Structure 1
Amino acid sequence: MSDDEREEKELDLTSPEVVTKYKSAAEIVNRALQLVISECKPKAKIVDLCEKGDSYIREQTGSMYKNVKRKIERGVAFPTCVSVNNTVCHFSPLASDETVLEDGDIVKIDMACHIDGFIAAVAHTHVLQEGPVTGRAADALAAANTAAEVALRLVRPGRKNKDVTEAIQKIAAAYDCKIVEGVLSHQMKQFVIDGNKVVVSVSNPDTRVDDAEFEENEVYAIDIVASTGDGKPKLLDEKQTTIYKRAVDKSYHLKMKASRFIFSEISQKFPIMPFSARLA
């Protein structure tokens, strides 16, 4: 077997080594999620929660594959985000942000970890209150959870991406909720967190995706957000963008010395995966 053939085989889930890396990344990111959940308390600063999640992933992955011939990239595949109440997703503030959690908040946590580019992503919704969740908040939680369970069962060889889109909307409607528009579930490959095969949460003229069929040994991150509103995100507060990803298919010709320095730092520290501006 040539080196190219061996490299190609390593990308396939039929390789035990690849499966091991996925499992290891999943174990780490699930522990990181539990850590962040345990720290979600009234008056906790959101930026501190994000830092705890990212730091745990970096520490745990940093202790793996240290004595190998080929350097194994590993670490945070998507920064820890803590999005509260009507903030849809991807809130990972800068160090100067003073936003804190409050009693009764609905907290959406998401993050991802990778080992050698094989990515495990997790998300969870946590409510800051004692006792069971009731009312419309409970409807939204149940709609999202049930839709996710059904989606996981539909992502199977031979099924289509539109099967998932149709099913999750029907489930949300049963709880008198809406699936939030603009949320995409991507196929993931080695070092690719947003692959070409996509499951759109709500099909409309603004977010069309190509029809696709799921195939054996593919990996997907299923991302579902349910709302008691109309499911159409609105810009209520212009939060500064804090998560970026380098466009590896583009070349940059920067004139300013400061720009070249920043780009060099990003290229070295975050060559492919999304990153938080806190760390840049």
Structure 2
Amino acid sequence: MTAASVTEEKKAQKVPIDDDNEVDDSDEEGVPEIAAADGETKKKKKKKKPKKKKKVEQGDPPRTGLSKVYSDGKYPIGEIQEYKDHNAWRTASEEKRYLEKLAMEDPDLTYENIRRGAEVHRLARKYARKFIRPGMTMTEIANGIEDSVRALVEENGLEAGIGFPTGLSLNNCAAHYTPNAGDTIVLQKEDVLKVDIGVHVRGRILDSAFTLTFEPTYDKLLEAVKAATNTGIQEAGIDARLGEIAGAIQETMESYEVEVGGSVYPVRAIENLSGHSIELYKIHGKKSVLLVKNDDQTKMEEGEYFAIETFGSTGRGRVVESGDVSHYAKIYDASQGSVRLQTAKSLLRTITKNFGSLPFCRRYLDRVGESKYLLALNHLVTQGIVQDYPPLCDSRGSMTAQFEHTILLRPTVKEVISRGDDY
């Protein structure tokens, strides 16, 4: 029976009809009746309202995979900055908007992969800021961060996971320290801790870092380095020259001073550290963004993405290799014909399977079941198949700080992908 015929028959019976063609009277059980063509009455079934999907909430500590929270595969967009000066026209360009649309339709979904990594980073570092406290061991801190990253990114072999070992460099050590098994170093209240976290999705690496202190002595050092990173981001762009960006970073960084125990120390940009371009499954691309002015005329290009990271120091402003090695990476295009030791060949297969060309550390080898591997690992380093990355330290007694963001040079705008409320 059509809705119209029901309405006409009910009008003849002088029964009120509501806007949804449902009658006002009901049987003793409260179920509305509709007159059938043969004069009998039939109970009209109530329409069931579709159940609303319950929003998935992130836990504390954060362990809910992001695909459950962002089920449509669309992740938060980073901070958008228009290009400076002669590149400002890109924002309104039809041609550039079309190119950006093509990039979004790329089967690798480059933008969404990096944005997913960025959201993992924001959640992991928010948790890190909350749980890291003096008295904790470096291993406890590293495990807490990495457990969050693995869960949030939904680690899956080389499809998604940790982009590089979590850096936890202390005080005069600026970079490339993470604890090895048996490390007993404990975080102190007076320490300056650099926290460098990497996330990758399908080889698109998100690289971002910050510095923590627990008393105010070195607040100005952190302020200087954060400001220098923001200057580098502001100056970066399509056709921007790397040497000029470096000069702007240095000028900002070295306008600060730090007072410690009645003595004043200038903040120096660390001259032999740099930001860098990022390539597929390669954390360090071919282009470097140094932190002191230089004559490099190389330009940034459309579609590239960079880690803009700056390091400041109260020391000499230059780092040297010092301490036990923890960071390694398989060299992307190295020949493997020179491997003689069977144990080294076996270890190389493990490295290739689990990390590819992504950086790894000794704790990660322990985690995948390798043991007594140091001789084999050193053989791979000696043969030029694996690169080792010793800790990089300024002069003893000095303090160093680091801040870093990943930026994407889109055809229309610059996206600071890793930007958050914290820095």
So what's the TM-score if we normalise by structure 1?
0.84
Q: Which amino acid aligns with 1:99?
A: I
Partner of 2:329: 245
- Determine if the alignment matches structure 1 residue 20 to structure 2 residue 112: yes
**Are the equivalent residues in 1 in contact too, given 2:158–2:354 (CA < 8 A)?**
no
Aligned to 1:275: 360
- 1:105 counterpart SS class: coil
Distance in 2 separating the partners of 1:52 and 1:105:
19
Match of 2:195 in 1: 109
- CA pair 162-36 structure 1, distance change in 2 beyond 3 A: same
1:212 matched to 2:294: no
Deviation at 1:170, TM superposition (A): 1.0
Please say if 1:120 is aligned against 2:206: yes
Tell me the residue number matched to 1:5. none
Q: Using the TM superposition, give the Cα deviation of residue 242 of structure 1 relative to its aligned residue in structure 2, in angstroms.
A: 0.7
The structure that has the greater radius of gyration is: 2
Are 1:264 and 2:349 an aligned pair?
yes
Contact persistence 2:153–2:161 (CA under 8 A)? yes
AA aligned opposite 1:56: S
Q: Give 4+ residue runs of structure 1 displaced > 4 Å after superposition.
A: 12-16
- Greater CA drift, 36-45 or 109-118: 36-45
* Pair 1:116–1:234, CA change in 2 (3 A): closer
1:191 paired residue number: 281
The 2-side partners of 1:249 and 1:234 are apart by: 26
Alpha-carbon spacing, 1:38–1:164, altered in 2? closer, same or farther (3 Å): same
Are residues 1:200 and 2:285 paired? no
* Alpha-carbon distance between aligned partners in 2 of 1:271 and 1:14, rounded to the nearest angstrom: 26
Q: Compared with structure 1, are the counterparts of its residues 254 and 234 closer, same or farther at alpha carbon in structure 2 (3 Å cutoff)?
A: closer
Contact 2:158–2:356 (8 Å) recurs in 1: no
Give me the whole-angstrom Cα distance separating, in 2, the residues matched to 1:219 and 1:234. 28
* Matched residue, 2:236: 155
Deviates more, 1:239-248 or 1:194-203: 194-203
Which amino acid in structure 2 is aligned with residue 117 of structure 1? G
**Is the CA contact 1:30–1:122 (under 8 Å) kept in the aligned structure 2?**
no
Report the 3-state secondary structure (helix = DSSP H, G, I; strand = E; otherwise coil) of the residue aligned with 2:118. helix
Contact 2:243–2:296 (Cα < 8 Å) also in 1 = no
Instruction: State how far apart, in whole Å, the 1-side matches of 2:105 and 2:220 are.
Output: 41
2:126 matches 1:39: no
Cα shift at 1:210: 4.9
Q: Is the 8 A contact 1:22 1:115 kept in 2?
A: yes
Native 8 Å contact 1:79 1:112 kept in 2? yes
Q: Is the 8 A contact 1:51 1:80 kept in 2?
A: no
Q: Give, as a single letter, the amino acid of the residue that structure 1 aligns with 2:164.
A: F
Task: Provide the rounded CA distance (Å) in 1 between the counterparts of 2:331 and 2:349.
Answer: 14
State the SS of the aligned residue for 2:168. Answer: strand
- Aligned 8 A contact 1:107 1:128 in 2: no
The 3 A distance-change label for structure 1 pair 101 and 210 is same
In the other structure, the counterpart of 1:3 is none
Identity among equivalent positions (%) equals 24
| Equivalent residue letter for 2:315 | G
| TM-score, length basis structure 2 | 0.56
Please list the CA deviations of residues 120-144 of structure 1 after superposition, one character each: whole Å capped at 9, or x if unmatched.
1110111123xxx24xx22211110
User: For residue 26 of structure 1, what is the amino acid of its counterpart?
Assistant: A
Tell me how far apart the structure 1 counterparts of residues 243 and 300 of structure 2 sit (CA, whole Å). 11
Distance 2:291 2:113 in 1: 29
State the partner residue of 2:177.
91
1:181 to 271, 288, 296: 271
Alpha-carbon distance in 2 for matches of 1:147, 1:13: 30
Q: CA deviation at 1:202?
A: 2.9
The separation in 2 between residues aligned to 1:162 and 1:180, in whole angstroms, is: 15
Asked whether the equivalents of residues 42 and 102 of structure 1 are also in contact (C-alpha less than 8 Å), the reply is yes
CA distances 1:214-256 after superposition (whole Å, capped 9, x unpaired): 1222100011011122212245xx4211110101211223222
**1:203 and 1:245, CA in 2 relative to 1: closer, same or farther beyond 3 A?**
farther
Give, in whole Å, the separation in 2 of the partners of 1:72 and 1:271.
Answer: 7
Instruction: Give 1:13 shift.
Output: 4.8
In 1, are the aligned partners of 2:244 and 2:293 still within 8 Å (CA)? Answer: no
2: distance between equivalents of 1:15 and 1:200?
Answer: 34
Is it true that 1:254 corresponds to 2:332 in the alignment? no
Rounded Cα–Cα distance in structure 2 between residues aligned with 1:13 and 1:182: 34
Kept in 2: contact 1:40–1:128 (CA 8 A): no
Match of 1:79 among 158, 165, 179: 165
Q: Would the aligned equivalents of 1:14 and 1:217 in 2 still touch at CA under 8 Å?
A: no
Q: Deviations over 1:33-83 (max 9, x none)?
A: 2222222211100122112222222222226xx8xxxx9711111111111
